[in-house]
Amino acid sequence: MPSRPLTAATLAVTVLVTSPAFAETHVWRIQSLFPSGNPLYVHFKECVQDMEAMSGGRLSVDLLPAGVAVGAGGTLDAIRAGVLDGHYSYAPIWTGIEPAFAILGDLPAGHSDAKTLFDFYYNGEGLTLLQKAYARFGAHTIGITSTGVEALSSHKPVGTLKDLEGLKIRVPTGMAAEVFARLGAAPVSLPVAEAFGALEKGVVDAADIGTLAYNDALGVHQFAKHTLYPSFHSNIVLDFTVSSKKWTALPEDLQAILEAGMQACAARYIGKSERADLDVVEAAPGKGLTVHTLSTDDENRLRGIARKVWDDWAKKGDLAAAAVNAQVKFLEDVGVLGD
């Protein structure tokens, strides 16, 4: 039977049916690593709202604070089980099942600032490698953000690597702890939730807690009068990762919106974080806080020691080796590492 001509009336119906208002709405349940009052939760929520708006109402994200559905270490299993559709989290939590997560999520003494890390992820191999790591577990990483280079709050002056010798430092287990140990420090493994109290009570001499501005907001300077900034021991990657099935169910334009939205999200936070850190540096004398900085020679020595730890971790698997090699090449290309 011959097709009927497309009249004005049927054309109008066709446009309405295929317009965003009539398109499928994708509803995602995402759990954050952070509680609702945390600045990182607030910033990511703003980013999610921007992406929802760009989707024209076709994407709706229920962003849950930390622990609402499962514990921090349970989100990956929850994604595979369909309890969650995704998470905003920190890949090194799952180092035990994939060593590359540690290397890609927080390379100690690697990227000297958040902008360099951003470049490795969005213009280098970083995002592709993290996607490969998560793909093994039925998940897809849309994009990453960075908290920025962290500070090391301390009761004692830490202006050189020699000052670290014998210092009891709260640090999570893993690569950073190994680097500090090789520098002569005494790493103390404590959850980040206990780090503030341990430093305040003098259980540890120094603590890896967060960025300079984050530590300042917590009031760490009230009792720990010294800080090493930038410390380079940590430059955390946070990833927005969802079920592979949920990702492939999205139309291509929504995928593009989310990918672009995450890049914009990361760029905004990096700028905000750096300005906040510099504000603390400027205000430090009035707070009785002394800010210490490593010399170029000490920075180079630190990276040389850290690189030995990277090489050890590269032996833990093919993807771990690829993650180390890609970052070494990138850091050599940008002049941070010598050949």
**Amino acid in position 47:** C
Residue 9 falls inside a structural domain: no
**Amino acid in position 166:** G
What averages of pLDDT result for each successive group of 10 residues across the chain (339 residues)? 35 36 83 93 96 96 97 97 97 96 96 92 97 98 94 96 96 92 94 89 94 92 94 91 97 97 94 93 96 94 95 97 97 82
Three-state DSSP class for 184?
A: coil
CB contact set of 94 (below 8 Å; sequence gap of 6+): 73, 76, 101
Burial class, 131, CB count within 10 angstroms (exposed 0-12 / middle 13-18 / buried 19+): middle
Query: Residue 339's pLDDT is what?
Result: 55
71/190 same-domain check: no
113/242 same-domain check: yes
205/303 same-domain check: yes
Residue 138 falls inside a structural domain: yes
pLDDT digits (tens, 9 = 90+) for 136-173: 999 999 999 998 899 999 999 999 999 999 999 999 88
87/29 same-domain check: yes
Find out whether 42 and 88 touch, Cβ atoms under 8 Å: no
* CATH (domain of 217): 3.40.190.10
Query: Residue 260's pLDDT is what?
Result: 97
Cα 271 to the center of its chain, rounded Å: 15
226/85 same-domain check: no
CB contact set of 208 (below 8 Å; sequence gap of 6+): 150, 152, 169, 170, 171, 172, 176, 195, 231, 233, 234
Residue 13 falls inside a structural domain: no
53/166 same-domain check: no
32/89 same-domain check: yes
Number of domains in the chain: 2
125/29 same-domain check: yes
Main-chain phi, psi angles of 19, to 5 degrees: -75, 160
38/136 same-domain check: yes
* CATH (domain of 251): 3.40.190.170
Residue 136 falls inside a structural domain: yes
Range of the domain at 266: 25-148+235-276
204/217 same-domain check: yes
120/207 same-domain check: no
Residue 244 tokens, joined: 């592979």
Residue 176 falls inside a structural domain: yes
Find out whether 142 and 162 touch, Cβ atoms under 8 Å: no
Residue 322 falls inside a structural domain: no
pLDDT digits (tens, 9 = 90+) for 77-136: 999 999 999 999 999 999 999 999 999 999 999 998 899 999 999 999 999 999 999 999
- Write down the pTM of the prediction: 0.89
